[in-house]
Amino acid sequence: MRARTLILAVSLAVLVPSAVMAHCQVPCGIYDDAMRIGMIEEHARTIEKAMVQISELSMDGAKNYNQIVRWVITKEEHAQAIQDIVSEYFLAQRIKPGAPGDDEARAVYHERLGGLHHMLTLAMKCKQTVDPDVPAKLLATTEAFCVSYFGDPHPYHH
């Protein structure tokens, strides 16, 4: 019996903190959409820096493979973080289709879905390349989404 209790306690200790860290998907009403956009942009800028570092370190005659690997991992983690914010926060919780029959709301919904999908795709491409055009396109797409969503390309600066 003690062994079961111990296993349950350890399982809860391991599992609960990870669930608490994520913003919940219950209708708590506490959202900071602008902050999430700022986070996406910060992740994209980190990806840009990682790509530059990977390229520079790869051209160096005395390659430091450990540093290259660390920058690749950093790039991957930040791209995944963007995908998580877009899918788990905006797509799952914030973007709504509007009332049935409301064609204008439906058009806005599709515009926002398209923007978010494009952001997901570009984040995926960031994992596949060190082309600095990809995070630049991601930042531009994020800005376009902000205009659609907030009516402002930089809502977090207010």
The predicted-structure confidence for 11-25, as pLDDT tens digits, reads as follows 544 454 444 444 556
Whether the predicted pLDDT of 136 surpasses 80? yes
Domains and CATH numbers, the chain: 33-152 (1.20.120.400)
Does the pLDDT at position 158 exceed 60?
A: no
> How big is the CA angle at 102 (ends 101 and 105), to the nearest 5 degrees?
140
Provide the angle, in degrees to the nearest 10, between the axes of the packed helices 65-84 and 103-128. 170
Give the span between the Cα atoms of 48 and 37, in whole angstroms: 17
pLDDT at residue number 12: 45
Q: What does residue 133 show for φ and ψ, rounded to 5 degrees?
A: -65, -30
Confidence of residue 1 (pLDDT cuts 50, 70, 90): low
